[in-house]
Structure 1
């Protein structure tokens, strides 16, 4: 009996030590992520409300509209290399992300108006606009609602409307999966734990990218996509925006694509788990003069395509933007 008690106490001590270690590791990761997410940005007062923004570089202005799980930090992580191409990157946090509050009307149309308000506050008359993933919805609306402000439009793996008859290889996301994703994306600890014990599943189901592509990629690409996944923390400070983005695809409506006059570049990958390829191809085919770049592989994170995509966007912005 004494031996069994000792074993029980030893087991409890090991479990307690494990819990303490996990809490310490999580606390350290969350504190680091929170500090990183606050770096380099400022909250700008606009007539549409406060908007968080980070800027870098000099030259042709590019409004960078981030995707799901992002903020000014995700946008700048992606676009900072463009500053070497004579481009001024203006990376903002969309409604409900980090320090940009979510208003009662958080529709893509209202967000597009807020993009214009931000340019006003920064004293920028016109800019190229780039929307990634869920950020493409408001970028597209800006080209429709404020055509005089948009010199060039780039949509990358865009969440975009398409007719039901357009073939789409990606499965529809069920309401049950939506709820599961929302629980995961509403908790800093659950998301962090998922990265520790099931990172491949996070890539596949949350970031819509085949994990095998990442394992086969270069060390530089693996570092990029792993950093992108980790930089979703602190997810709790992005939760309001994430909830809107998670349901965005089910509430998109047809847009007057034929009326867009901004030179437009659209990029996607056929194996994107969010099924953006068909919508991207459809959108490009209905915007006059739009160029579509479609990759067979890359997933939603465009693994292995990063440098080519940035080069294409830099050339597009330089060619389309008056100097």
Structure 2
């Protein structure tokens, strides 16, 4: 389970806990710069992918399904490219992924000015906590890339889930190094040899994701042989209202790829 921006092993396990109730064993780590995982000089998605494989080695696991969420999808993809023999299935959820310039995105690109504002907010426990207390809707819209109106209209169970995700980012200071890398990640991506990936792949996104993952997700799925794409009209980056359907789709995909 490769967590997204603002995460760590805690976010990864929270996200994947429903899979454990389906009898699946989940391994959740903290990526470079998150919680107690140091950030090395080379913190690229390629280096992170190699570190994921080292983790499997340390645990004595030869092959595993890999789920990458948001910014975590970049190193999950690199695992499939660099170490395909170690992956039984690949799932990319609202992935930060490259797309050709000719592909029209569903969201405007994030400006450098907004990047700088986000980095200030995401570097301070006090500022982020204050934002949650006095301006939670803007935090959902600009930091978590999800339309607040979807959250207000969601079921009590869904509201509890997404508010817990927002609060789980604290202490943000323990995640700041990783967040800084992730905030600018989309501007550093380039094309990948997706057509060479031999791993059964499922890609999921929502058209109104404020980070604009829909176009890149759809393109990625179109280039990986045999991949399946699930695109929702709404849900935002947190896939509000889609949680149960997304988990069911992932469970079905993983079981079909690993019938034993």
Q: What TM-score results when the alignment is normalised by the length of structure 1? A: 0.80
CA–CA separation in structure 2 for the residues paired with 1:282 and 1:155: 12
Moved over 6 A (4+): none
Instruction: Give the CA deviation at 1:272.
Output: 0.2
Bigger relative CO (Cα 8 Å, ≥ 6 apart): 2
Instruction: Give the CA deviation at 1:169.
Output: 2.1
Structure 1 unaligned segments of length 5 or more: list them.
Answer: 1-63
1:87 aligns to what SS in structure 2? coil
Q: Which residue of 1 aligns with 2:186?
A: 249
Task: Verify: 1:164 aligned to 2:101, yes or no.
Answer: yes
Instruction: Give the CA deviation at 1:318.
Output: 1.2
CA–CA separation in structure 1 for the residues paired with 2:124 and 2:255: 41
Task: Verify: 1:144 aligned to 2:81, yes or no.
Answer: yes
Task: Verify: 1:299 aligned to 2:236, yes or no.
Answer: yes
Q: Which residue of 2 aligns with 1:264?
A: 201
Task: Verify: 1:196 aligned to 2:133, yes or no.
Answer: yes
Task: Verify: 1:218 aligned to 2:155, yes or no.
Answer: yes
1:293 aligns to what SS in structure 2? strand
Of 120, 129, 132, which residue of structure 1 is paired with 2:66? Answer: 129
Task: Verify: 1:96 aligned to 2:33, yes or no.
Answer: yes
Instruction: Give the CA deviation at 1:84.
Output: 1.5
Q: Which residue of 2 aligns with 1:173?
A: 110
Q: Which residue of 2 aligns with 1:313?
A: 250
Instruction: Give the CA deviation at 1:322.
Output: 5.5
Q: Which residue of 1 aligns with 2:23?
A: 86
CA–CA separation in structure 1 for the residues paired with 2:8 and 2:101: 31
2:28 aligns to what SS in structure 1? strand
- What is the correspondence of 1:10-159 to structure 2 with a 5 Å cutoff? 64-159=1-96
